[in-house]
Amino acid sequence: MIFIFGRKRAKIKKAFDHVGSCTSCNSIGVQFEIFRDYYHLFWIPIFPVGDKETEGRCTQCGKPNNYNPRAKHFESVTRTPIYLYAGVLFFLILIGSLVVGNINTQKEKALFIADPKAGDVYLMRKDVNDSTYYFFLRVARIQSDTVIVYPNVFQYFGFITKMDDQDHFIAQEFYYTKNELSELLEKGEINSVERDYGDYKGFNRIVDLKVDSVK
């Protein structure tokens, strides 16, 4: 992918001085234009750089008048427009959204673990020596404080959000208490909890060991 990155100059204000005189023709009236450099990515401003600069021209003869003492005054009272910080603002908004989204996801996971439903799918994470693998558990049913789950067949050596097309759950029961599941969540061994998912994820494929058929 090609990134278009560079430095450009923006005119941030135009001002007229009806007091100062032109150093060339002595006419009263100078027009000032204030500029600010900025870095851009794909021509979108990221953040300003350097100091503001002022260019002055006589309103009568049009000749440069950059050494007028009023130039510094106009620079000092001119604020850098907020759009030149667009990249920084976008980055901060993005980070804020990710943080809020992660907080909401963690809250949702905790709620799903505290109140499990049949069909919930847990993405489990296991760290063994120097390797990490993932597998799924599907809630079959809940009996009082006990959650009965089915394991899947495959192990995945990378983060996943759905099953491989050849993978499925096995109707072999494993038992966890709700407290045990909460502890696994706190330890980070339950990576995510899926509920109200689509068929494309493969979580509805269950093989009954007794008849060896897919429900």
pLDDT tens per residue across span 98-154: 999 999 999 999 999 999 999 999 999 999 888 999 999 999 999 999 999 999 999
Asked if 82 and 120 sit in the same domain, the reply is no
Place of tokens 């002022």: 54
Query: What is the domain extent for residue 53?
Result: 5-90
Specify if 106 maps to a domain: no
Answer yes or no: are the C-beta atoms of 35 and 3 closer than 8 Å.
Answer: no
Q: Compute the distance between CA of residue 164 and CA of residue 168 in angstroms, rounded to an integer.
A: 8
Asked if 9 and 80 sit in the same domain, the reply is yes
Half-sphere exposure of residue 150: CA atoms within 13 angstroms, side-chain side? 22
Asked if 141 and 50 sit in the same domain, the reply is no
* Domain stops at, among 74, 90, 106: 90
Specify if 103 maps to a domain: no
| 169-194: pLDDT as tens digits | 999 999 999 999 999 999 999 999 99
**Phi, psi for 158 (deg, rounded to 5):** 175, 155
Length of the chain: 215
Specify if 102 maps to a domain: no
Specify if 63 maps to a domain: yes
Specify if 110 maps to a domain: no
How much is the pTM? Answer: 0.65
Specify if 124 maps to a domain: yes
**Cα angle, residue 159 at apex, residues 155 and 162 outer, rounded to 5°:** 75
Number of domains in the chain: 2
pLDDT for 59 equals: 86
Answer yes or no: are the C-beta atoms of 134 and 158 closer than 8 Å.
Answer: yes
Query: Crossing angle of helices 86-114/178-187, nearest 10°?
Result: 160
Asked if 73 and 128 sit in the same domain, the reply is no
Specify if 136 maps to a domain: yes
Asked if 210 and 136 sit in the same domain, the reply is yes
- The tokens for 215 are 């429900």
* Domain stops at, among 45, 74, 90: 90
54: number of Cβ within 10 Å: 19
pLDDT for 19 equals: 75
Asked if 86 and 150 sit in the same domain, the reply is no
| 57-113: pLDDT as tens digits | 888 888 887 777 778 888 888 999 999 999 999 999 999 999 999 999 999 999 999
